[in-house]
A and B are shown apart, each in its own frame.
Chain A
């Protein structure tokens, strides 16, 4: 094997660390479920009759959304975030007592759940007297039940000092209040990861205990940003979480990480903790959801503020590459440091540094009359406040200047939207 092939093999090994997201399986299943069967079977009439009876009985099922006092879970203090821990202290939740034995002799014990209109949270312990692996052999797949198919979303856990017990929580999409019993589907890696074994564990679900109410309000306001619009559609608040949903029509929203962190939700003027954001794209466009902590009780005013978001500016700037010193060039108040210009076998390499949020567009170098566009980025390092990168240009002439057409950056917008609180 040549050196290059070795390097390719190493890169492949590294890429093998990239695993499919947990929700992939669920997404594929959903996609497939929407496809009609190839050979449609004609159902006898009695099936339709039964379906109608079931439907009627489901519709007439009532649950009391306000009587939700259940039991308090003990031993999960480490992994509960503030709001979930408060809800637990208030006794909002339901205990479960179900155990799964895994192939390696360890056991997974389902301890409790919390459920509302925004999410379903499962509390569990994973233990083995001989020690447990921080990288457990199981993965949560989904929860099924009447009108319910909820996929695993995210989880967190902590390990005891002896490394024999892992205490964790896993959140899922919300489950239906009509379910009387829920089934957790779990996948366990067996044969050293060569195969998967599916476990199913059913447990009773009492929405009167585990379910609490929600508040929903439409927003329907649009904020204009440099490269498009952010449309806020609705806000949903449950005792565990507040979610803002909407549509995104912004070309460059992913030009720097965490663009959505600059959007704040203020309750009575105070920001609510931001718990993350998600964007999903389809041919119809992109939708987003912003998750915040639960709203404080008795909130009187709510406001969404687009404090910062990704912006774009035509800069048309020319930066000298000769007579370098340590001072930055200012491009519309953003610093640009040119650290090094060198000629290599691959071409001209220019090392530059900017603030973390700055991404340059349309970069080229000029030597006399000749202009050469950026070929590729060779390396990028993050130092304390700066992002340093090496740009490669296919040229064999030392350049005089660097030209930049535009710049994506974190821009202050400050637009604010009042939300009606009733």
Chain B
């Protein structure tokens, strides 16, 4: 498997190697950025920022195997910085507009079931929601989520547990609706 070799090449400043690494998981990166930024244009901007940061700091990456969790952590940081600049609501905001911007019918299919789940997600607090989204929709492990959100693993676990519990309660038991 050439993955570690690619990371080593990228560490030496090889741009093609870095592009290839991102390319292998580009859908996952895009979805992660989109879940924070909501707008495809902003998501692309965040990804551009990310790849520049990666290139500038990859020589500091110690464990080659950790490339993906490291780079996604950087992506999430960039997204949050951009959101702060735009002073938008963080992650799954709860105003009406997020569901109503129907500009991108391909990427945002508004099925009823999803609405319910999103509705339930909007009922838990933003820290819990962020942890649940990162774990269940983006397949990230607890340690990476902890790095992304600047808290301990224990806090991540507790946020996920408490968040899921609240979602179950508000939807009336384990069977939803």
Q: Which residues of A contact B (CB under 8 A)?
A: 2-5, 7-12, 14-21, 23-25, 27-29, 31-35, 37-39, 195-196, 254-258, 279-283, 345-346, 359-361, 363, 374-381, 389, 391-392
Contact = CB atoms under 8 A, between A and B. Distances in A.
Contacts of B116: 378-379
Interface stretch (B61-69, B144-152, B162-170): B162-170
B119 A378 contact: yes
Contact of B52 (A10, A12, A35, A345): A35
B9 interface: no
Contact of B97 (A10, A14, A255): A255
A38 B13 contact: yes
A242 to B, nearest CB: 23
Given A257-B103, A377-B115, A7 B176 contact: yes
B87 interface: no
A281 B119 contact: no
Interface of B: 13, 15, 18-19, 22-24, 26-27, 29-31, 34, 39-42, 44-45, 47-49, 51-52, 55-56, 59, 85, 94-97, 99-103, 105, 107, 109-119, 122-123, 132, 136-137, 139, 164, 167-168, 170-172, 174-176
Nearest to A391: B96
Contacts of A31: 48-49, 51-52
A37 B27 contact: no
Contacts of B30: 18-21, 24
B101 A4 contact: no
Contacts of A21: 30, 40, 44
A297 to B, nearest CB: 35
Contacts of B118: 376
B26 A280 contact: no
19 contacts: A8-B137, A10-B113, A11-B136, A18-B34, A20-B30, A21-B40, A31-B51, A32-B18, A255-B100, A281-B41, A375-B94, A375-B123, A376-B122, A377-B100, A379-B115, A380-B99, A380-B100, A389-B99, A391-B96
A23 to B, nearest CB: 8
Nearest to A8: B136
> Which of B115, B122, B168 lies at the interface centre, i.e. has the most chain A CB atoms within 10 A of its CB?
B115
Main secondary structure on B side of the interface with A: helix
Contacts of B34: 18
B56 to A, nearest CB: 7
Q: A-B pairs with the 3 shortest C-beta distances? A: A20-B30, A31-B48, A8-B136
A379 B118 CA distance: 10
Given A8-B137, A38-B59, A28 B97 contact: no
Main secondary structure on A side of the interface with B: mixed
Nearest to B172: A345
Contacts of B164: 4-5
Contact of B136 (A9, A196, A256, A392): A9
B148 to A, nearest CB: 18
Contact of B29 (A20, A254, A345): A20
Nearest to A358: B100
> Which of A37, A39, A374, A378 lies at the interface centre, i.e. has the most chain B CB atoms within 10 A of its CB?
A378
B41 A280 contact: yes
Contacts of B103: 254, 257-258
Nearest to A281: B41
Contact of A14 (B45, B85, B114): B114
Contact of B95 (A14, A20, A281, A374): A374
Given A4-B164, A32-B52, A24 B47 contact: yes
A256 B100 CA distance: 7
Contacts of B51: 28, 31-32
Nearest to B136: A8
Contact of A3 (B31, B56, B176): B176
Contacts of A361: 96
B175 A3 contact: yes
Nearest to B44: A27
Contacts of B31: 15-16, 18
B48 to A, nearest CB: 4
A86 B153 CA distance: 64
Nearest to A23: B44
Contacts of A32: 15, 18-19, 51-52, 55
Contacts of A3: 174-176
Contacts of A2: 168, 174
> Which of B13, B27, B49 lies at the interface centre, i.e. has the most chain A CB atoms within 10 A of its CB?
B27
B26 A359 contact: no
A196 B6 CA distance: 15
B69 to A, nearest CB: 18
A33 B19 CA distance: 11
A379 B112 contact: yes
B55 A15 contact: no
Given A11-B137, A18-B34, A377-B96, 17 more contacts: A4-B167, A8-B132, A8-B136, A15-B137, A20-B29, A31-B52, A32-B55, A33-B15, A196-B24, A255-B97, A257-B103, A281-B39, A281-B41, A281-B45, A346-B170, A375-B123, A389-B99
Contact of A392 (B22, B97, B119): B119
